[in-house]
Amino acid sequence: MEKRTILTTSKRGLIEDSFPFRLFQKAKKYGVWNPSDIDLTQDARDWKTLASEQQQDILRLISQFQAGEEAVTLDLLPLIMTIAKEGRLEEEMFLTTFLFEEAKHTEFFRIVLNTIGEKGDLAHFHSETYQKIFYEILPEAMSRLETDQSPEAIAEAATVYNMFVEGVMAETGYYSFYQSLEELGLMPGLLKGIEYLKRDESRHIAYGTFLLQRLICEHPHLYEVVEAKMQQLAPLAIKINQEGFAGRDVSEFGHLLEDTMNFTMKQLSVRMDILSRARGKKIEDIYRVTETEMGVL
C-alpha cells in the first residue's frame, strides 16, 4: 500500500480559492435545511381540490422525482470513492455535502407523498424509458467506477449523472412543477422544497460541470466522448416528456408539451455549450471559475 500523505499539515494545506472548496462553503451555508420543517398543511388541502386527472399529472412527477432522488443517492458513492483515491481533498469535501443533500431530497418527496395520503405502489409511473435511464444507464455508469477509474469512465459517469439526470431531466421536472402549480398558487410547501432542491442541485450540476471541464482540459479528446454520450441520451429525455403528456398536447394544468420540449432542448444545448468552453483553457482557469459562471444559486 502506498504511504499516505496528509495534505492539510503539509505546505499545500487546503486550496481554499479552488472552485470545489468554494462549493463546499456554499453547501454549508445554503444546504442545511430540514425537509420535515417545511409546512405542508396547505398542500394537503390543495391536493383534495385537484381533479383526479391533475392529481395523476402531479403524482407522475413526484413519483419520478422520488425514485430519481433515491437512485442518485444510491449511485453517487463510487464517484466519491474515485475522487478520494485520487487525493482530490477539496472535491471530496464538497461531495460529502452532495450525498447528504441527495439523501434529504429523497426524504422530502417521501414526506410529501405521506402528507397527501399516497402510500401505495407508484412504480406504474416509471415507464420503460424512465427505467432505462434510472434502472440501467445511471447505475451502470456509476458502478463502472468501482473497477475502472479511467478518465473516460469518470467522464461518462459525470455526463450521465450531472449533465443529463440532474442538468436536463431534473431541471425539466422543476420547470413542470412550476408551470403546473406555481401559476395557480397551489401546494406552496412542495414548491418551497423544490426551491431548496433546485438550489442544492445548482451546486451539484456546477461540480459535475467543473469535473468534466477539468477532465476535458487534461484530456481534450473527452469532449467528443461527452458530446456523443449526450447525443445518445437526448432522445430519452424527449420520450420522457412525451410519455408525461400521455398523447396530449396540453397538460391538465394547461401547460403545453411544446414548451416543455423547448425547455429540455435548451438544457441539452446549454450543458454542452458550457463544457465546450473548457477546450483550450489552462487548468488553473478551470479551478478559478466563478460560481456565477457555473450557474450556482
pLDDT for 274 beyond 90: no
Spatial CA neighbour of 151 closest among 213, 93, 108: 213
**Residue 250 identity:** V
Question: Can you read off the three cell numbers belonging to residue 284?
Answer: 488553473
User: Are 233 and 164 within 8 A, CB to CB?
Assistant: yes
Residue written as grid cell 439523501:
103
CA distance 147 to 202: 29
CA distance 286 to 44: 46
What is the predicted pLDDT for the residue at 29?
A: 95
pLDDT for 25 beyond 90: yes
What is the predicted pLDDT for the residue at 254?
A: 87
pLDDT confidence tier of residue 19, bands split at 50, 70 and 90 = very high
CA distance 86 to 218: 14
Question: Can you read off the three cell numbers belonging to residue 92?
Answer: 471530496
199-256 pLDDT tens trace: 999 999 999 999 999 999 999 999 999 999 999 999 999 999 999 888 898 888 888 9
CA distance 286 to 17: 12
User: Are 178 and 271 within 8 A, CB to CB?
Assistant: no
pLDDT for 107 beyond 70: yes
pLDDT confidence tier of residue 1, bands split at 50, 70 and 90 = low
Query: Residue 202: which residues within 8 A CB-CB, separation 6 or more?
Result: 295, 296, 297
Please provide the average confidence, as pLDDT, over all residues in the chain: 94
Supply φ then ψ for residue 162, to 5 degrees.
Answer: -85, -45
Q: Which domains are seen in the chain, by residue range?
A: 19-25+41-287 (1.10.620.20)
168-195 pLDDT tens trace: 999 999 999 998 999 899 999 999 999 9
79-94 pLDDT tens trace: 999 999 999 999 999 9
Complete DSSP assignment for 231-294: HHHHHHHHHHHHHHHTT-SB-TTS-BHHHHHHHHHHHHHHHHHHHHTTTT--HHHHHT--TTTT
What is the predicted pLDDT for the residue at 247?
A: 84
Question: Can you read off the three cell numbers belonging to residue 84?
Answer: 478520494
